[in-house]
Structure 1
Amino acid sequence: MPAKLVPKLAAALDARADLIARLHAEETDCYRLFHGSVEGEAGLTVDRYGPFLLVQSFHVFLSTEKLAAVTAFYAERLPGLQLFYNDRSRTNSRIGNPLEGEALLAAQVPYEVSEIGVSYVAQARHAGQDPWLFLDLRAGRRRVMQEAAGKSVLNLFAYTCGVGVAAAKAGAAHVVNVDFAESSLAVGKQNAKLNDLPIRPRFVQSDVFAAVRQYAGIGQPAMVRGKRMPSFPKLEPHAFDLVFLDPPKYAKSPFGVVDLVNDYAALFKPALLATAEGGTLICCNNVAQVDRDEWADQLQRSARKAGREIREFEWIEPEADFPSLDGRHPLKMALLRV
């Protein structure tokens, strides 16, 4: 019932009061306001992206009455922010509520938002279904900014290049963003243009397996499972000081599949070999059913098989706007000194 939802929204907002004040003080205006799986309404999320709110429902459709209650609550508590709703309750998570006319035009307006003083472009609706900036990854971007000064950075599965742009803003000497999707890299280039960057990041449109194998100095097979490999951009071997690996849960590649549940090692090994001795590799796994400790053990075993030592291992925890009941967040981020 809508009457039961509003107190949950209020409790979540009140609990974030100090956090929001700190975020605003560091020039951050995008954060999660309601994390329903933990705060009492499974499948419902409310995120702020600068001047607009993005309400999304996963697994369960948000009724007209509940949407009206959500809209009224934030209109009173956070006046002036435009609210957009994306129904992603279908099994494929595609947005299921079409918009038309002025509503669609408003949802497609690109806005400039800020995180830790870095500007990004955000849009409520675009050709894909996921937001252009994943807010739970803020802790990872923050850590990259703390690590990046004077270093070479490789951002794998870069999507809209938030990590790479943050690294460049923080003084990285050299940044390479790799992603297969030209549309995502186009947004990344917009993000770079929004910021007064001391360097010009590189954007490489390529299958990530092909790119990272070349950087790691691993030869490319001419055939895989009886099929000739397509041509990929030619890249010279290079050992990076900092490598950020954030693959999707599952994706197809000419080299096989990206599979974070069953075969993270297939990506981890070349990423590790593209990391300089004494460098840092930050690995992400966003699959909830993957046990954190088992995944950490897998990374250790994979490193040993590759002949590299993990000298330090540290968890990077999502920030407080992404609460967890048991301290085990779906998004796992591990920083490895290698």
Structure 2
Amino acid sequence: MPITTLLTTALAKRETLINNLSNANLPKTDCFRVFHGTVEGVNGLNIDRYGDAWLIQTFHQTLNEEELQSIHNVLLSAADLPVVYNDRSNKNSRVINKLDVDIDAYAHSDQVIAENGILFNSKLRHEGQDPLLFLDMRVGREFVKANSHKKTVLNLFSYTCGIGTAAAVGGAKRVVNVDFSSFALAAGEKNAQLNGVELVCQFIQSDAFPALRQLAGLKVASRNNKKLPSYPKMSASQFDLVFLDPPRFAKSVFGTVDLVNDYQSLFKPAVLTTKQGGTIVCCNNVAKVDKEAWFKSLVRCVEKQGREVSHVEWLDCHQDFPSFDDNHPLKIVALTL
């Protein structure tokens, strides 16, 4: 089926989101997925609305000129906005294509986007690979905003602190954002400032393992007994709400993040940082990880620490991120302990 037909169909399914853009009575949301290619007909092609721009991304195969022009035409008929194409089809996912001078300048400029009335910094091309806000995590930010009033919040693997910003806007009294990237945390500080909540938020540049273990009151150790580099010192502390959203795989001298084989190495200390009666939100974005098996492993880990799960709430991605048989790769569950 032609991409123009597939994209036109996808846009029709987002009619409510598109129409809400002009509804002054609703909190503004101008960033959402327009075409989720894996499910909607072109594997590896994603198209998003990011504020006053369209963003096209390819992850498997580069679009040819005819395909790109066809997509341009459909998007511009929906809204006459700049169209940025990031071809990330190389194995390392770095953007490999050049843009026209004017579009390139726009892509590298700071923009402001909105989600449920919360403002976020956006730059469609920057020193990293991914957009500065992961749109499929909208449901996570909504949950945190709704459940953070007068609470303390720990946001691990915070990236640009979208979760932390939502918590602060929701009335949290303290938000601690932890990420290894100074670039991501700088973007997170901008997000907090855009919403006037910077006084509530802390931004700690650290490997997650030493940060988590210190907060949990555990000893910081190295993997394979290697000499430890310096890391920010933190005192043991517990939080009302802990948000755990690790990458699929990452390795450092402090430990290995492995969402397929060893989620527990992060989850166990994260549970220790969660207050009695508090909530820990766990995320796993690996498609091949079975949802129920993963959930049962979390419950077992909680019980091994002499605690119990008193309430469970699954957070399902919104309809602009469709999935096969409602089995979305991104699994998010909130556990009250």
Query: Which TM-score bucket, shorter chain as reference?
Result: over 0.9
| Matched position secondary structure for 1:73 | helix
Contact kept? 2:164, 2:175, Cα under 8 Å: yes
| Matched position secondary structure for 1:326 | helix
Contact kept? 1:258, 1:264, Cα under 8 Å: yes
| Matched position secondary structure for 1:27 | coil
Q: 1:10 matched to which residue of 2?
A: 8
Counterparts of 2:164 and 2:236, CA distance in 1:
19
Cα shift readout 1:36-90 (whole Å, capped 9, x = no counterpart): 11111111111011101110011122111111100111111212x1110011111
Q: CA RMSD in A?
A: 1.4
| Matched position secondary structure for 1:70 | helix
Deviation at 1:100, TM superposition (A): 6.3
| Matched position secondary structure for 1:228 | coil
Contact kept? 2:83, 2:103, Cα under 8 Å: no
Deviation at 1:99, TM superposition (A): 3.6
Question: Which deviates more, 209-218 or 97-106?
Answer: 97-106
In the superposition, relative to structure 1, how do residues 311 and 22 fare at CA in structure 2: closer, same or farther (>3 Å)? Answer: farther
Structure 1 runs of 4+ with >4 Å offset: none
| Matched position secondary structure for 1:104 | helix
| Matched position secondary structure for 1:203 | strand
Contact kept? 1:245, 1:271, Cα under 8 Å: yes
| Matched position secondary structure for 1:164 | helix
Deviation at 1:234, TM superposition (A): 1.0
Q: 2:44 matched to which residue of 1?
A: 43
Equivalent runs, 1:269-280 vs 2, <5 Å? 269-280=268-279
Equivalent runs, 1:275-314 vs 2, <5 Å? 275-314=274-313
Equivalent runs, 1:193-232 vs 2, <5 Å? 193-197=193-197, 199-221=199-221, 223-232=222-231
Equivalent runs, 1:1-338 vs 2, <5 Å? 4-22=2-20, 25-79=26-80, 81-99=81-99, 101-197=101-197, 199-221=199-221, 223-338=222-337
| Matched position secondary structure for 1:263 | coil
Counterparts of 2:280 and 2:129, CA distance in 1:
28
Q: So what's the TM-score if we normalise by structure 1?
A: 0.95
Unaligned runs of 5+ in 2: none
Deviation at 1:22, TM superposition (A): 4.4
Counterparts of 2:20 and 2:104, CA distance in 1:
33
Deviation at 1:98, TM superposition (A): 3.0
Structure 1 residue identity aligned to 2:106: A
| Identity of matched residues, % | 48
Q: So what's the TM-score if we normalise by structure 2?
A: 0.96
| Matched position secondary structure for 2:326 | coil
Counterparts of 1:218 and 1:38, CA distance in 2:
43
Provide the aligned length of Structure 1 versus Structure 2.
334
